[in-house]
Amino acid sequence: MQKIIPHLWFDKEAVEAAEFYVSLFKNSRIINTTKITGTPSGDSETIDFQLADLKFTAISAGPYFKHNPSVALMVACGEKAEVDRLYNSLSPGGKVLMPLGEYPFSRYYAWVEDKYGISWQLMLVDNIEEHEKIKPVLLFAGDVCGQAEDAIDYYVSVFKQSNKGLINHYTGEEANDKRARINYGEVNLNGNKFIVMDHGYGGDFSFNEAFSFMILCKDQEEIDYFWNKLSFVPEAEQCGWVKDQFGLSWQIVPESMNKLLFEGSEAEKNRVTEAFLKMKKFDLATLEKARLG
């Protein structure tokens, strides 16, 4: 089971965006759509979907958070034609952050922001079978520029069965911002692979709740463990959400969350929703009591 689920926040476009993304990649599908009623954002629509081998969740919950390049999705492509196809599909209505072409780190690469605000790094790779199709990219910019390698080390200490991969450092005058330390890093967190790097120009954006990561926990003990390790901003604690010391948002939720929220009678679902909306850290015993009434 995928332990960490990338979570995308939209105003009203979650289902539309998910269906668009699924149309672009092989072995992709919509898993299910659901609606949470009575939230502070009103009725919120959620959708679970899969792109290649990576599962995602998206939510339409109001215009409160805006996507930026601090978190992107890197796509490994085995042929130039695939890079071109994705570039031509994802760039209309969005922005080109790095134009399609050859770079010192890639024979063929582009970085685009699509019409929904999600950033994509499209890269031609050799030996495509050795690469995960899609990997999240964490770009440490603004106040946390220079802390990418510290974050890798911390996340490896938090997530069991994790390891630090290839790390490449900026050399000489390569980075305009002297705080920047690594221009490429890899980390495997419980089987979920991430790319992590410092912004060579410092950047003027930062992580926010628009792109977060859900951690599926098997029991209350695991919820407590991740909460204690990752919550560093008390005012950000709400309904399972926390922010770590680098500003990255996580959602610490039970594996059974969909069952708790969406199974049972309307009365049961309403009681559980009312209970969890009052919580910071999820209390499974209290949620079960609410469900039973």
Q: What is the pLDDT along the chain (293 residues), one digit of tens a residue?
A: 899 999 999 999 999 999 999 999 999 999 999 887 766 667 889 999 999 999 999 999 999 999 999 999 999 999 999 999 999 999 999 999 999 999 999 999 999 999 999 999 999 999 999 999 999 999 999 999 999 999 999 999 999 999 999 999 999 889 999 999 999 999 999 999 999 999 999 999 999 999 999 999 999 999 999 999 999 999 999 999 999 999 999 999 999 877 777 777 888 888 988 898 899 999 999 998 988 88
Backbone phi, then psi, for 119, in 5-degree steps? -95, 140
Distance in angstroms between the alpha carbons of the first and the last residue of the chain: 31
In single-letter form, the type of residue at position 23 comes to S
What's the Cα-to-Cα distance from 255 to each of 218, 250, 282, 290, rounded to whole Å?
6, 15, 12, 18
Which pLDDT belongs to residue 261? 74
Domains of the chain: 71-198 (3.30.720.110)
Which pLDDT belongs to residue 40? 65
Give which of 115, 71, 113, 72 is closest to 206, Cα–Cα: 71
**Cα 292 to Cα 17: distance, rounded to the nearest angstrom:** 36
What's the Cα-to-Cα distance from 92 to each of 88, 109, 112, 114, 116, rounded to whole Å?
7, 17, 10, 7, 11
| H/E stretch holding 168 | strand 163-169
In single-letter form, the type of residue at position 43 comes to D
Which pLDDT belongs to residue 41? 67
Angle, helices 80-90/14-24, rounded to nearest 10 degrees: 160
Which pLDDT belongs to residue 7? 98
